[in-house]
Amino acid sequence: MHLSTAYQQKDVNTLIDYNTKKKKKIFTSIKQNIFLYLLVLPGVLYFLLFKIIPMWGVLISFQNYSPYTGLMHSEWVGLQNFKELFANSDFVLIFRNTMAISLLNLVFYFPVPIILSLMLNEVTNRRFKNTIQSIVYLPHFLSWVIITGLTFVLFSQSNGLINNLLVSMGFEKYNFLTNPKVFWPILTFQAIWKDAGWGTIIYLAALSGIDVQQYESARMDGASKIQQMWHITLPGLRNVIITLLILRIGHIMDVGFEQVFLMQNSAVSQVSDVFETYVYRVGVQNGRFSYSTAVGVFKSAIGLILVIVTNNIAKKCGEEGVY
Amino acid sequence: MKNGKFESALGTINIVLLCTISLVTLIPLYYVLALSFTDPTEYLVKGGQLLFPDKLSLASYKYLLSTATFKNATFVSIGISLIGTLVSLAVTSTLAYGLSRKRLLGRKIMLRIILFTLLFNPGIIPNYILVKDLHLINNYAALILPVLTSGWYVILMKSFFDNIPPELEEAAMLEGCTDITVFTKIVLPLSLASIAAFGLFYAVSYWNSFFNAVLYINDPKKWTLQVLLRNMIIDSSTSTAGGAVSMESAETPPAETLKMAAVILATIPILIVYPFLQKHFDKGVMLGSVKG
Amino acid sequence: MITITRKSIVLLTASMVLVSGLFGGCSSKKAEPGKADVKQEKPVEISVFTEFNTAEPPTDDNPVLKEFEKKTNTKIKVNWTSANNYKDKTNVILASGDMPDLMKVQDFSNSLMQEMASKGAFWDLEPYLKDYKSLMEYPKEVYNKVKIGGKQYALPSVRPTEGYSFVNIRRDWLNNLNMKMPTNMDELYNVLYAFTYNDPDKNGKNDTIGHTSRGLWNMYDSFTGAAGTGAGRFKEVNGKLVNMELDPVVNEALTWLNKVYKNKLLPEDWAVMKDTQGEDLAKAGKAGVSGDTIEGIFRSTAEARKIDPKADFEPVVSLNGYVPKASGFGGMYFIPKQSVKEDKVKKILSLMDYGASDEGFTLACYGIKGVHYNEDSSGFKTTTDQALKDSVSQSSFGKIFERFDKYLWAYRTGMDKPTFDRNKKIIDEIAKVSVPDRTIGLISQTDLKFGADYEKKSKDLKTKIIMGIEPISAWNKYVETLKADTNYMKIIEEYNAAFAEKNKK
């Protein structure tokens, strides 16, 4: 009895000792790095105030929320909103369309800015390189309204430029805009045209951070341009690419409302309904706050799972990952 | 020898491809420019299919510039963009730098929280209520503060800072520099490229700020340029008001030419600013020299 | 008028003292109203939230606004929001509780507004309205439509009922082809055919087409006779609301439209085209049949006249005996109960009453005589450039102040008198046969939840059948699934119940 109590006492002491040591450690660490903490303070405050505090809005997806009754007094309905979403006969269709458009984007759009910036990087004449880059980033500033308008002028069946061309070459007119088969590719192509050039900016910034001397020494060792690209350039871009990839995957359920809304029409309805347009139709128009938030929460949850998975994969491959 | 020829062939193909891409991009852009100078009636007659307008018309531009509030809106947008970009860069870069230093306690938690806020969006109502409770409705700060720091840019900028070798830091600290000095005197000059890039991104997003301005600003004198322009070029097909507007439109729907002119007007300032920033991300950095 | 006894003056003054914190302009009435002793009162401040559709909204020092303030002894602060984002802003303002004194809500079906109204957030205006002559001139029918739970919480923003979006045809092209204005769908088909293949503009070129694509669903409605915003769903038959989607006449409509499409009497892209693109065809003189309000179609006439001075889009009176009747209101105004005291309510109503009078409404829509418009001997008004500069129009002040004007849609800025007179006659004809949408002013909870989805599915399938992508049998199959769908049938039930309820009063 006496012995065990003695042991227990020792354990407790060790525990107290450990806790105080840990607290001391934290305290010293903060003191040592006080300036670092000061540096991050403004940013942390911003996130706390403007991002964390409004997060209560996510809770309304579990309620039958009315802004008039308020968060505290609105009726809690648990998973009812989510159940309603899954019960919708078109849920699978909407999910498929969203994923399809997003995946096409990921596979075809994502690499383009990277390739483009590598190509630009290889150009030795700086003026030429800058001019080209200044041209390709411009479409970013055109709104989707204009881009869909341009698409119409090009691809319209009655009088579009491309169809006129086809007819003059002896082919038949093609219904680009009302054919479900080409709807997704057209969206992808629009996205590439609009944002690939803009996307090169971040990669060019990353490329300029690569130590020029590495290229020097590589050249002196007899490496070819291709070898240089593979062993110096790409690794230099690696962590930016991976970070962007993970973030992009986290947003895989976000397809961009305006583009799809403007391009969709009844003839391609089965491939053009995505979560954003669904929510707009069912939620926003009638002020169904809880339901539209629930759909958003569902999308975000999927994104979160994917981010965790991809981040872990990245880490296992020895990369830094996002967190 | 073979290497050299092969490489120069690749180099030529590279240039040819880039030129083609530029052309593909330019032609539609030229079309937008051409339309903006086209007379609306000519546009209608030709069904929008023209490359060279028969007569140049400034009608669209005149109309857009005719509003009393145009000058105001331009100043507001310029002001917001300048101040917003500077403050945003400051807050973003400091946070990103801190997060890139492994000795920061709570680093992982902070990153996870930031990521979480990127993925989950609570909607416009909680944000509106917050801005209202802070008494910022109809205040210019409402156009800057709620969007001050983008989690996306913080995470990206952090990955840029991750590339800065810790030896530089250690060397400086040994000589008695604080974190703040290390940041301002060593890290920042090395990161001009990413600062230019993110500065541009922030500037463009402030310049384009529209929805927040509609929600939070009630006084037309405080509207941003985008709000002003979009008010003039909305129509039933692109507005979310949809049917209501088209059923009962007592005013003229905007001509396509008007929309094109609006885009050109809104884009000009960016075009002016861009070359100054571009030079920062096209030259390499000599890390070695800094070591000395 | 209200007779003020000494007691009520005391009560009135006491309540005003309580209100004095927020709003500066408190009046201390010493005289009886009716006597023009307004100089003794300070102007009452009224804040308004409303929409606008002009290039830019009127400024604070706008002369028309000042005139309104002078005539009603008020200080008006308007929060103008573009119609583009109006719904979103309405919702945040309602949600935040930060409401102005007078607030416009566009949709009757806005659930937040409905909830707030039923919970007493707004003033019931019924007891006060009888004191305002011009407001009482609004049609009783429209007042009833916007009643919520039997109470008059909403002051309707009245709009005309005749001249609503329907079919319009190039009269000059008809004349060129020696054809008459069609009265049924067979005749309309012949007109469309002739417009496409018989060179109606007589320019020797085969460059015209029948329909612009804008307002296609108006033609659909001519078969079902169910009014709505294009492809209406419900028709009143013997006092009950019948859902026309389930009616076999839909097959007729779709077959007719398919024939039109197959024979290329409308653009192949019609399913992709936006309203403005359709209108552009009309403006360019390339198509001869288009859908719009009587007022709106004049835009196309005016533009088309630049190419062919004889161009003239004439509104059709009816097709197959059908022409739609508008709801009679374009939004509703509410006065929040918590922040606005009773005497201010009266002041707001008297402001709206002035705007509803002949003088006030003319001021709102046309501005100040001699500055913003000129009037000829017959009373026909022509607007000046200053009106454009000052953003004086129906789309600005006319969104606040309304007067029921039967012929409001007959006129549009820039219209010539003969066209105006003709339009008035057509409106008179339309008024005899127009069909209203009975579901307006009724709420069906199931419809709010699922209605949009059903409408989309229905429209998508109809479009595909018209384009020949799906056979007509697909529609019959779809109707069977609807009949078996409990939610769908519930919507019909709920609307009928609400209909019966509203008609009881």
Each residue's pLDDT tens digit, A52-61: 999 999 999 9
Buried b vs exposed e over A141-155: b needs ≥16 C-beta within 10 Å? bbbbbbbbbbbbbbb
- What part of A 153-182 touches C (C-beta under 8 Å)? 156-158, 173, 175, 177-178
Instruction: Tell me how far apart the terminal alpha carbons of chain C are, to the nearest angstrom.
Output: 27
* pLDDT score for B173: 84
* pLDDT score for C9: 46
* C386–chain A nearest CA distance, Å: 32
pLDDT at A284 over 70: no
Q: Report the alpha-carbon distance of residue A302 to residue B119 in Å, rounded.
A: 10
Contact A288/C448, CB-based, under 8 Å? Answer: yes
Contact A287/C449, CB-based, under 8 Å? Answer: no
Q: Report the alpha-carbon distance of residue A120 to residue A140 in Å, rounded.
A: 18
For A91-105, A254-268, B49-63, C129-143, which range has the lowest pLDDT when averaged over its residues? B49-63
Cβ atoms of B200 and B277 closer than 8 Å: yes
Residues in chain B closer than 8 A to C295 (CB atoms) = 250
Quickly state the pLDDT bin for B10 (edges 50, 70, 90): confident
Instruction: Tell me how far apart the terminal alpha carbons of chain B are, to the nearest angstrom.
Output: 38
Q: Report the alpha-carbon distance of residue A316 to residue A295 in Å, rounded.
A: 32
Contact C284/B125, CB-based, under 8 Å? Answer: no
Q: Report the alpha-carbon distance of residue A223 to residue A234 in Å, rounded.
A: 15
Going through C102-212 in order, the beta strands assigned E by DSSP cover 102-105, 155-158, 166-170, 209-211
pLDDT at A217 over 50: yes
Quickly state the pLDDT bin for B283 (edges 50, 70, 90): low
Q: Which of B234, A262, B131, B128 is nearest to C89 (CA)?
A: B128
Candidates A43, A57, A143; nearest CB to B94: A43
Q: Report the alpha-carbon distance of residue C128 to residue C109 in Å, rounded.
A: 25
Cβ atoms of B219 and C258 closer than 8 Å: no
Q: Report the alpha-carbon distance of residue A172 to residue A310 in Å, rounded.
A: 46
Can you give the three-state secondary structure of chain B, one letter per residue? Answer: CHHHHHHHHHHHHHHHHHHHHHHHHHHHHHHHHHHHCECHHHHHHCCCCCCCCCCECCHHHHHHHCCCCHHHHHHHHHHHHHHHHHHHHHHHHHHHHHHHCCCCCCHHHHHHHHHHHHHCCCCHHHHHHHHHHCCCCCCHHHHCHHHCCCHHHHHHHHHHHHCCCHHHHHHHHHCCCCHHHHHHHHHHHHCHHHHHHHHHHHHHHHHCCCHHHHHHCCCHHHCCHHHHHHHHHCCCCCCCCCHHHHHCCCCCCCCHHHHHHHHHHHHHHHHHHHHHHHHHHCCCECHHHHHC
Cβ atoms of C153 and C119 closer than 8 Å: no
Q: Report the alpha-carbon distance of residue C243 to residue C19 in Å, rounded.
A: 51
Contact A119/B25, CB-based, under 8 Å? Answer: no
Cβ atoms of C122 and C155 closer than 8 Å: no
List of domains in chain C: 31-159+328-405 (3.40.190.10), 166-324+424-504 (3.40.190.10)
CA max distance for chain A: 104
DSSP category for residue A256: -
Beta-carbon count within 10 A of B257 CB: 26
Token pair 């000042």 in the structure block, residue? C66
List pLDDT tens digits, range B134-162: 999 999 999 999 999 999 999 999 999 98
Candidates A126, A141, A247; nearest CB to B155: A247
* pLDDT score for A3: 65
Residues in chain C closer than 8 A to B228 (CB atoms) = 56
What is the SS3 assignment for C272?
Answer: coil
In a 13 Å sphere around the CA of A154, the CA atoms on its Cβ side amount to 13
Q: How far is CA B154 from CA A242, A244, A320, C17, C341, in A?
A: 15, 12, 15, 53, 50
Contact B99/A320, CB-based, under 8 Å? Answer: no
Residue in A51, A276, A315 to test binding to B, most B beta-carbons within 10 Å: A51
**How many residue contacts between A and B have a Cβ separation below 8 Å?**
264
Token pair 């018309």 in the structure block, residue? B57
Contact B240/C83, CB-based, under 8 Å? Answer: no
List pLDDT tens digits, range B87-128: 999 999 999 999 998 888 889 999 999 999 999 999 889 999
Contact C115/A68, CB-based, under 8 Å? Answer: yes
The C-alpha R_g of chain B, in whole angstroms, comes to 24
What is the helix, strand, coil percentage profile of chain A, to 5? 75, 0, 20
* Chains with ≥3 CB–CB distances under 8 Å to B: A, C
Mean pLDDT, contiguous 10-residue spans, chain C (505 residues): 45 42 37 47 91 88 94 94 87 90 93 93 95 94 93 95 94 96 96 95 91 94 86 89 95 97 94 89 94 93 93 95 93 95 94 94 92 86 85 89 92 88 96 93 90 92 95 96 95 94 79
Q: Report the alpha-carbon distance of residue C134 to residue B201 in Å, rounded.
A: 55
Q: What angle do CA C328, C331, C336 make, to 5 degrees?
A: 130
- Give the residue on C whose Cα is nearest the Cα of A264: C272
pLDDT at A105 over 70: yes
Q: How far is CA C247 from CA B240, C224, C244, C252, in A?
A: 31, 8, 5, 10
Q: Report the alpha-carbon distance of residue C183 to residue C429 in Å, rounded.
A: 13
Residues in chain A closer than 8 A to C105 (CB atoms) = none
pLDDT at B53 over 70: yes
Flag whether residue C55 sits within 8 Å of chain B, measured between CB atoms: yes
* C31–chain B nearest CA distance, Å: 37
List pLDDT tens digits, range B239-254: 443 333 334 444 566 7
DSSP C326-391: --SEEEEEE-BTTTS-HHHHHHHHHHHHHHHSHHHHHHHHH-SBTTTEEE-TTS-EEE-HHHHHTT
What is this structure's pTM? 0.88
* C223–chain A nearest CA distance, Å: 21
Flag whether residue B44 sits within 8 Å of chain A, measured between CB atoms: no
**How many residue contacts between B and C have a Cβ separation below 8 Å?**
128
* A249–chain C nearest CA distance, Å: 29
List pLDDT tens digits, range A1-41: 466 666 677 777 777 777 787 788 878 878 878 888 999 99
pLDDT at B46 over 80: no
Contact A36/B285, CB-based, under 8 Å? Answer: no
- Give the residue on C whose Cα is nearest the Cα of A175: C269
User: Quick one: CA torsion of B233, B239, B241, B242, rounded to 10 degrees?
Assistant: 110
Q: Report the alpha-carbon distance of residue C114 to residue B91 in Å, rounded.
A: 43
Residues in chain C closer than 8 A to A175 (CB atoms) = 268
Contact B220/C59, CB-based, under 8 Å? Answer: yes
- Give the residue on A whose Cα is nearest the Cα of B164: A209
Checking DSSP bridges between strand C381-383 and strand C329-334, what pairing results, if any?
unpaired
List of domains in chain A: 2-62 (no CATH), 80-316 (1.10.3720.10)
The two three-digit tokens of residue C111, written as one number? 């659930």
Q: Which of A241, A236, A215, A242 is nearest to A227 (CA)?
A: A215
Helix B107-119 crosses helix B151-162 at what angle (to 10 degrees)?
140
Can you name the residues that pair with C236 across neighbouring β-strands?
A: C241
List pLDDT tens digits, range A142-187: 989 889 989 988 898 887 889 989 999 999 989 999 999 999 999 9
Token pair 């169809």 in the structure block, residue? A163
Amino acid of residue A216: E
What is the SS3 assignment for C104?
Answer: strand
List of domains in chain B: 58-288 (1.10.3720.10)
Amino acid of residue B88: S
* pLDDT score for C40: 57
Beta-carbon contacts of C233 under 8 Å, excluding residues fewer than 6 positions away, are C226, C243, C244, C245, C439, C455
